[in-house]
Amino acid sequence: MIYKAYSSDTERFLSLPETGMGYQVFEAEIHGGVTHKKRYIIYNGELIVDLDSRFSDCKKQIKISGFSKVLNEAKSLPIKTATISLVSKATLLERQTLSENKEQYKHRHRGGQGAKDNPKESANGSELFVRLSAYKNDHRVDFEKKKLKKGSYTTTDLDYKDCVKYSDDPVDRYALPNDDPIEWAFYIRPKMRDELQRGIVQPAFGHEGGGIEVYFENGTSDGTFIEAKEYGKT
């Protein structure tokens, strides 16, 4: 099933870390339902899908009908907000090996570990990062303060350029759980006091990964969001 989040729950999700670029996997109890948690995935803090045997069908429906239309028509999910708990990304990873073809011809990276598993480092104040999104109103970008919100992911500008240059599929490269095409690139230049963690996207959701992911636990400073461009227009 597909649902939308109440605005209060959207605020709650936006205060919690992402599982990956543009989504969170969580468990929660529902008002009026059974007293055990079910597992869901939420896109952009607002559209919720059951993470069950019908998940693939729901993804296709969202892609065919369009995110906005599905969101407008979906019923709200009465989550018991206090029961929301994020699912560890480690439990979602799959045993796959990056194909040599994608490593060689798409410039993806083999092995390694995810960003959250690597040490923190300070930004150098000049390096550019890119958040790829299917949503023009990506809720992880604070357009008023021009910054990235806490607990958000990006990739590097260099990895994004490789994705475009070698005609790679960003959904597969960054192991995203949605079939919606990536349409936007949000450019972030963190300041020297901002901290980040780098890693390699691990296989998940039937995708091989191998792209570079960067995690900003504390977000970025005011004024670090530079601009938004349509995907591929580097």
The shares of helix, strand and coil residues in the chain, as percent rounded to the nearest 5, are: 25, 30, 50
Torsional class of 210: left (φ above 0), alpha (ψ -120 to 50), beta (otherwise): left
Tell me the two tokens of residue 204: 């998940």
Tens digit of pLDDT for each residue in 66-78? 999 999 999 999 9
pLDDT at 94: 83
pLDDT at 58: 94
Same domain, yes or no: 55 and 148: no
pLDDT at 33: 66
User: Is residue 181 included in any domain, yes or no?
Assistant: yes
Same domain, yes or no: 109 and 225: yes
User: For the purposes of burial, counting CB atoms within 10 Å of the CB of 117, is it exposed (0-12), middle (13-18) or buried (19 or more)?
Assistant: middle
Q: Which of 87, 120, 146 is the last residue of a domain?
A: 87
User: Is residue 47 included in any domain, yes or no?
Assistant: yes
Judge whether residue 48 has pLDDT over 90: yes
Q: Which of 97-106, 196-205, 217-226 has the lowest mean pLDDT?
A: 97-106
User: Is residue 95 included in any domain, yes or no?
Assistant: no
Same domain, yes or no: 114 and 45: no
pLDDT, mean over the chain: 94
Alpha-carbon distance 159 to 82, whole Å? 38
Which position has the token pair 């993804």? 59
Alpha-carbon distance 161 to 173, whole Å? 12
**Strand duo 75-76 + 2-4: pairing:** parallel
Q: Where residue 123 falls among pLDDT bands split at 50, 70, 90?
A: very high
Judge whether residue 97 has pLDDT over 90: no
Please give the residue range of the domain that contains residue 28: 2-87
The total number of structural domains in the chain stands at 2
pLDDT at 91: 86
Same domain, yes or no: 151 and 104: yes
Same domain, yes or no: 117 and 82: no
Same domain, yes or no: 79 and 193: no
3-state SS, one letter per residue, for 55-90: HHHHHHHHHHHCHHHHHHHCEECCECHHHCEECCHH
Residues facing 57 on adjacent strands = none
Judge whether residue 127 has pLDDT over 80: yes
pLDDT at 36: 79
pLDDT at 92: 86
Q: Which of 56, 87, 118 is the last residue of a domain?
A: 87
- The one-letter amino acid code at 98 reads L
Tens digit of pLDDT for each residue in 174-189? 999 998 999 999 999 9
User: Is residue 170 included in any domain, yes or no?
Assistant: yes
Query: Measuring CA to CA, which residue among 60, 226, 20, 229 is closest to residue 129?
Result: 226
Which position has the token pair 């598993």? 117
As a whole number, mean pLDDT of residues 200-226 equals 96
Judge whether residue 98 has pLDDT over 80: yes
Alpha-carbon distance 186 to 166, whole Å? 20
pLDDT at 29: 92
Judge whether residue 34 has pLDDT over 70: no
Please give the angle made by the CA atoms of 202, 205 and 211, to the nearest 5 degrees: 35
